[in-house]
Structure 1
Amino acid sequence: MKLRRHGIAPRAGRNNARLALATDLPASVLADFTGTSISNATRWTEYARRDWLDYIESRTQI
C-alpha cells in the first residue's frame, strides 16, 4: 500500500524480477528461491522460454 501511494507498482516489479530469475534459474531452483510452488515456477520459466536441458546435463557430469 505504501509503495502504491508513491506511484510504484510492486506487482509489476515483482513479476519482472521473477521473469529475470526464470531466465537464469531452472524451475526447481526458482521455486525454492522464491517460495512458490513448482508449477508456478514452471510457468515462469515457460514465459521466459528457457530450455534447461543443457543445465541438467552439465550437473549430471559433475
Structure 2
Amino acid sequence: MKLRRHGIAPLASRNSARLALATDLPASVLADFTGTSISNSTRWTGYAKRDWLDYIASRVDP
C-alpha cells in the first residue's frame, strides 16, 4: 500500500525485474533465485525469448 501511495506499481516493477533476470539466467537458476516453480520460470524465460541451448551444450561438452 505504501508504494502505491507514492505512485509505484509493485507488480509492474516485480515483473520487469523478473523479465530482466530471465534474459540473463536459465530457468532453473531463475526458479531457485526467485523462489518460484520451474514451470513459472520457464514461462518467464519464454517471455524473454532467450535460447539457452548454447549454454547447455557448453556445460555438457568437456
TM-score for both structures, normalised by structure 1: 0.94
In 2, Cα distance between equivalents of 1:59 and 1:4: 43
Gaps of 5+ in 2: none
Moved over 2 A (4+): none
1:1-62 aligned at under 5 Å gives the runs 1-62=1-62
> How far 1:58 sits from its partner (Å)?
1.3
Gaps of 5+ in 1: none
Report how many residues are paired. 62
Q: Deviations over 1:13-36 (max 9, x none)?
A: 110000000000010000000000
Letter in 1 for 2:60: T
Paired-residue identity, %: 84
